Amino acid sequence: MQEMILKTLVLQNFKGIENLTIDFKNDTQILGANGSGKTSIFDAYSWLLWDKDSNSRKDFDIKPFTENGETKHGLESIVTGHFELDGQPLKLSKTYKEIWTKKRGNVDAVFSGNTTDYFINDVPVKKLEYNQRIETFISEKEFNLLCNPLYFSEILDKKERRAVLLSLIKDVDNNEIFSINKDLKELELDNYTIEEIKAMAKSSAKKTNEELNSLPIRIDELEKSKNDFDFKDLEEQKAETEKAIADIDKAIAKSSESTNVIVQKNNIIQNKLDEMKKIKLKIDEINEDRQLQAIREYNQKYSDFFVNKDK
């Protein structure tokens, strides 16, 4: 980093300061009551380098104003800084001015915006060249950390403050830490940094939240699809189907009753037929016995005839 010394700061029509020149010595103190312009001086210095006020805001009022707080128009706001950079003089200057345009046919000019002119050693330059020149000897963060006592504690967020503090010490190898406190070895992160694990957890939580947030939409869609069915018509169809089933059951029951009657009658007929067969068999047996008896009687008579004849 190069050595940069602010020698003189000149303010013209900047906020509530109409004209002020400060020559800085080895120990320069800026004191005053509230509202006397102390913050405006720091705002001017910060704006000269970074286009921001002392709270790192780009959008802030630069134009001069009256005691009543009303903006003064038509004036140029100029801040100039005389520096010594590694023993060499350097002059930076900015001019903030209004743009007034007179349209054809109009007598009065109309305010149409603001513009900023940049100068290095009184030579007009583009904004990019101006910023690049400053970045060669100091960065915005380095400037604020060195010059703004509230920047670290109030403007930087926790993550940035941590990064700044870690940048002030040398890197410590994990193995060195584990050798001192073996209990910490359980915290090894499988080649992931803490920030990477936090990012993965945050991504997973975000995905879960998105799924939870989508549940009401899915439920609503299902409710709508449910309403697409005509449940009254379905109930009527169900009743008709149940009636048809009942009718079929009745018909089957009647058919079963008729079948039972037929079976019973068939059984009676079959029993009668069986009895008739038995009677016929009995008759046949009787007839057969009679025939045999008749034959025996005939044979006896025939035998008796021949016996008597021989006598």
Q: Please give the Cα distance from 94 to 51 (Å, whole number).
A: 9
Among positive and negative, which fits the CA dihedral 173, 175, 176, 181?
positive
| pLDDT per residue as tens, the chain (311 positions) | 678 899 999 999 999 899 999 999 888 888 888 877 888 999 999 999 999 998 889 888 899 887 787 888 889 999 999 999 998 999 999 999 999 888 877 778 888 899 999 999 999 999 999 999 999 988 888 888 888 888 888 888 888 888 888 888 777 777 777 788 777 666 566 677 767 778 888 888 888 888 888 878 777 777 666 555 566 777 787 788 888 888 787 777 766 666 666 667 667 767 766 777 777 777 777 767 777 776 777 666 666 665 665 55
Q: Please give the Cα distance from 157 to 175 (Å, whole number).
A: 30
Q: Please give the Cα distance from 215 to 212 (Å, whole number).
A: 5
Question: Phi, psi at residue 11, to the nearest 5°?
Answer: -120, 135
pLDDT at 115: 93
Specify burial of residue 53 (Cβ count, 10 A radius: 0-12, 13-18, 19+).
buried
Q: Where are the alpha helices (DSSP H) in 4-157?
A: 38-50, 127-135, 140-147
pTM: 0.55
Strand partners, 93: 80, 119
Give Cα 264 distance to the centre of its chain.
79
**CATH fold for domain 4-138:** Rossmann fold (3.40.50)
Triad 155, 51, 59: Cα angle to 5°: 70
Q: Please give the Cα distance from 22 to 10 (Å, whole number).
A: 6
pLDDT at 180: 80
Which of 140, 150, 91, 46 is closest to 14 using CA atoms?
Answer: 46
- Each residue of 271-306: b (16+ CB within 10 Å) or e? eeeeeeeeeeeeeeeeeeeeeeeeeeeeeeeeeeee
pLDDT at 104: 79
Q: What is the total residue count of the chain?
A: 311
Which of 66, 55, 59, 44 is closest to 114 using CA atoms?
Answer: 59
Which of 63, 52, 45 is closest to 8 using CA atoms?
Answer: 45
pLDDT at 156: 86
Q: Please give the Cα distance from 75 to 56 (Å, whole number).
A: 24
